Amino acid sequence: MKLQVVGCSHHNASVEMRERLAFSPEQARDALSRLRQLYPETETVVLSTCNRVELYFAAESAERFPSHHDVVEFIAEFHGLDPIVVFNELFERTGEDAIRHLFTVAGSLDSMVVGEAQILPQVKEAYERATADDATGPLTHAAFQAAIRVAKRIANETAINRKRVSVPSVAVADFAKQFFERFDDKQVLLIGAGEMGEETLRYLIDEGAKHITIVNRSADRAHELAKRIAGEVAPWEDLKRLLVKADLVVTTTGATEPIITAQDFRQIHHDRAQHPIFILDLAVPRDFEPAVAEFTGVYLYCVDDLKDTCQANQRAREKEWPKAERIIEDETAKFMAELHHRATGPTIRRLKEQADRVKADELERLLKKLPNLDDDAKSEIAQTLGRVVNKLLHPPLESLRDEAHSGSHHGLLDALKRLFQLKD
């Protein structure tokens, strides 16, 4: 059996390279179709996210199985890149290391933010897409279903997923949720359309936020974000008017000076009639002057207010890391043992069946020559022959099981097939 993963991630490739190697859902389907034509006996899954691009391969015994170089050339050709440039960006894992890597990815221990919740749905989606396109099979079914089980074990048996460590996730889970009981009836104003604002917005939507307005100096970027996620777009000139109506404000612009000064906020505060407002200023430099926090009913938090919680949560997660690693090691060993049993089981079964047939034939021949034996004697002879056969088979079968457990059974398996003339 062959198992392999070739790819790159935030650990070894720049964001620019990951963008060049990424597969959209449509491209992933096209890639799966091409790979199925090139390697019809090989099962394939394409996993492509903002932080990783990985191609998983598995086969029972494919004569035409893609090598590391084959995969590099395929990806390079698919994206119109130089294979030499691509080669240095892609890692390879095989056999047990490939399974351990998959389990680590699904369990979010390989993520940029360890414990983040997005990766498992992405793994599921990649597997389901490959299955729908008839690119998976028994080995990938077993591997990816096991990976999903491992991720659930990590989530249930450790606290590694429960402590938020990114600024946007802490902003929503540890600050906004302490202030608001619900989000579906709140007016959310997002100022800026960058990555941090987008991530924060996703967390708010997960918590039920529905009434979202986006303002950005570049209206096109605001429209792109609203189309990609949710929300209505308003012109930058309406910012002060929108602040009068907002319950929750997230601001993440790249401005070099505050976009709202204390003087600006004075009229806004008057028009709000002291209605409480919660502001997450995630911009560096800050978008709101610190003095805005002095107004009654204003709850203003900046990145520095969130960092202490991020760091405390990170330390708490690090304590949980060994537990998660033990789960991955246990599940990897279990999966590989089952996989090797699956590989050696048919041969062991055929060998025993062949031995039983030989024993039965010889017993029948002997009993015909000794017609006067009573039933007890016949039984004793049958048991003796059985013990002889079992003792002869025990050493090679035990050696096969030992080597299968260590993952190096192929040579002995082939030797047994040849020695005993076992047919597949």
Structure tokens given for 290: 């610190």
Look up 50 and say whether it is catalytic.
yes
Residue 391 has pLDDT above 90, yes or no: no
Active-site position among 8, 50, 302, 310: 50
> Following DSSP, what letter does each residue of 314-372 receive, concatenated?
HHHHHHHHHHHHHHHHHHHHHHHHHHHHHHHHHHHHHHHHHHHHHHHHHHHHHHHH-TT
pLDDT in tens, 41-59: 999 999 998 789 999 999 9
**In whole numbers, what is the pLDDT of the chain averaged over residues?**
88
CA distance 248 to 177: 11
Q: Does the pLDDT of residue 198 top 80, yes or no?
A: yes
Query: For 256-308, how does the pLDDT look when each residue is reduced to its tens digit (9 = 90+)?
Result: 899 999 999 999 999 999 899 999 998 878 999 999 999 999 999 888 887 77
pTM as predicted: 0.62
Give the residue from 41, 38, 44 showing the smallest Cα distance to 57: 44
Strand-by-strand arrangement of the 2-9 sheet: 43-48, 52-59, 2-9, 91-94
Q: Is the pLDDT of residue 397 over 80?
A: no
Which tokens belong to 264? Answer: 């600006």
